[in-house]
Chains A and B, each alone.
Chain A
């Protein structure tokens, strides 16, 4: 943390810089009290977002006795025992269930979203603008208040306690955003690319496969990462639709892990922390890998 508080001094030559950057650079040399205070506040907020995860990691690497003896200290020596304990329960199966349902949901969202986005951008049909606007409104409106009637749809379809049921629901949760995102992406594609293929006599499907899909590859990564992150963290529907222990997804397993420990003994905390870390690892990894795409995707959505 302290490293970030050290101002950058001296290593740049202001004379060489383009003139309009000078005021900022010069400002940086002297740390005014106000500026120091602002950075201190920023650091305090950053500490609040980082420390809980550091604590989680440390706790997961401690033996239970270690944790009870010294809750805030470093895990010396570190142990992986908690991870094995967490995984030896039903958590390993839950991890696999999450990968299956969230993976299938993400892939289907990307495929269907890409096709419908292409349709909105390049096909012509009545009420197109209105329809896309409605999809945008559906995307924004909260789903949580409609959980009971959505649950009834899955029930009526006979898909309760089935993988297809949860996957269908997951596609339903993320497809409005998928369609909207891909539609705005394809609408920005230059017309000439499609027109020239059209003159060569390519069918609509060939234009889609040979021009649109290769163009949209970066958008797939953004949409895929987004969808995956959103669904990976989903708890409420998974809790309702996949109720038997061998069908649980990871968020459900974690929610129940805590509840199964009715008497809040500290001994369990280390194992729970290991489970939390297992669940958080994949999103962290995705963010590290696709940081740029995630930021761009967010901004593209906001500026529309």
Chain B
């Protein structure tokens, strides 16, 4: 019996997809690793400069601001994980309008971050509907120049990031909760557990796998989904007040003409997230192990 499939079928079925993955997803990592040690203007060939980009990185106050801004999004991560789980638990209780809520929460997920960012420029504008509404109900003193308030703008962007993606979490958690054995809730109820106790002792442990998955997604999104929102909403401004680290990389590369430096920052961040992810996957390995069925003759 042959141990492996023929080279011809392997090349036919796996070749094209793997080729694209190598060209677009793997090769840039290696190339980035090289560019990080060069001065590159984006047009001419990169010039090797050793560790210059990395020493520059260590002393760049704007990068520090950008990391701090991404940090603000990460600070909200617990809310980002817990809110969808709570909402999903409520929906699962079949409250009136449950399925309506589920669809309502998914709406922002479907729309491009560009659309959301642009829409909120209008809504939060100086004479936009939010300020108009505040003035109309006599809360005019709360009206604010939302988009240019340096202290507030990053929290608004962070809020938009969560607002535009929590519906995905609700979808995930409702599906996960639907597969939890109903008799567990029944038993808890007979023991006199109230809603919060049932949530904490039955729901939360039952959906641990999905919670871990969603947490990983949230952390990845914190690093990658603010860029378009920030770009469309405030262009990272005023100043650098809403520049997250991914937008920092983009702007350094394509606005301020330092793609070499931007690549150094990007590749450092990429490797850091990659290492954390691999460690996490190793720790949670007991679940989600892929199982190939290798019975019979190979094709």
Contacts and interface: CB of A to CB of B under 8 A. Distances in A.
A141 B220 contact: yes
A123 B293 CA distance: 11
A239 B294 CA distance: 46
B12 A205 contact: yes
A107 interface: no
A288 to B, nearest CB: 9
Interface range, B side:
35 or more
Interface string B195-214: 00000000000000110011
Nearest to A31: B96
A141 B277 CA distance: 8
Contact of B26 (A138, A169, A233): A138
Interface string A25-69: 000100000010011001101101110110110010000000000
A280 B119 CA distance: 11
Contacts of A273: 119, 122
B29 A149 contact: yes
A289 interface: no
A301 B27 CA distance: 26
Given A5-B97, A125-B5, A137-B277, A145 B122 contact: no
B288 interface: yes
Contact of B270 (A50, A123, A141, A272): A141
Contact of B9 (A23, A123, A283): A123
B224 interface: yes
Contacts of B269: 145
Interface string A87-130: 00000000000000000000000001101101111111110110
Given A125-B5, A145-B266, A149-B31, A229 B96 contact: no
A144 B227 contact: yes
B115 A279 contact: yes
Interface stretch (B17-25, B73-81, B150-158): B17-25
Interface range, A side:
35 or more
A35 B95 CA distance: 9
Interface string B105-126: 1111011111110111111011
A276 interface: yes
A108 to B, nearest CB: 8
B180 interface: no
Given A273-B122, A280-B115, A304-B288, A149 B28 contact: yes
A216 interface: no
Given A123-B299, A142-B223, A147 B249 contact: yes
Nearest to B172: A302
Contact of B17 (A35, A113, A152, A266): A113
A115 B108 contact: no
Given A8-B96, A195-B296, A287 B224 contact: no
B193 interface: no
Given A119-B13, A141-B220, A280 B110 contact: yes
A172 B249 contact: no
Interface string B146-172: 000000000000000001000110011
Given A42-B87, A148-B263, A191 B176 contact: no
A176 B118 contact: no
Interface in A158-201: 168-169, 171-173, 175-176, 178-179, 184, 187, 191, 194-195, 198
A50 B111 CA distance: 12
Contacts of A49: 104-105, 107-108, 163, 167
A144 B118 contact: no
B28 A5 contact: no
A115 B249 CA distance: 35
Nearest to A46: B104
B253 interface: yes
A258 B298 contact: no
Contacts of B111: 53, 233, 279-280, 283-284
B6 to A, nearest CB: 8
11 contacts: A39-B95, A46-B100, A49-B105, A53-B107, A71-B128, A123-B298, A141-B270, A141-B274, A235-B113, A251-B114, A264-B125
Shortest beta-carbon contacts, A-B, top 9: A172-B24, A4-B97, A119-B13, A233-B112, A116-B17, A142-B224, A149-B32, A46-B104, A149-B28
Interface of B: 3-6, 9-10, 12-14, 16-18, 20-21, 23-29, 31-32, 35, 42, 87, 90-91, 93-97, 100-101, 103-108, 110-116, 118-123, 125-129, 132-133, 136, 163, 167-168, 171-172, 175-176, 182-183, 186, 189, 209-210, 213-214, 216-217, 220, 223-224, 227-228, 231-232, 245-246, 249-250, 253-254, 259, 262-263, 265-267, 269-270, 273-274, 277-278, 281, 288, 290-299
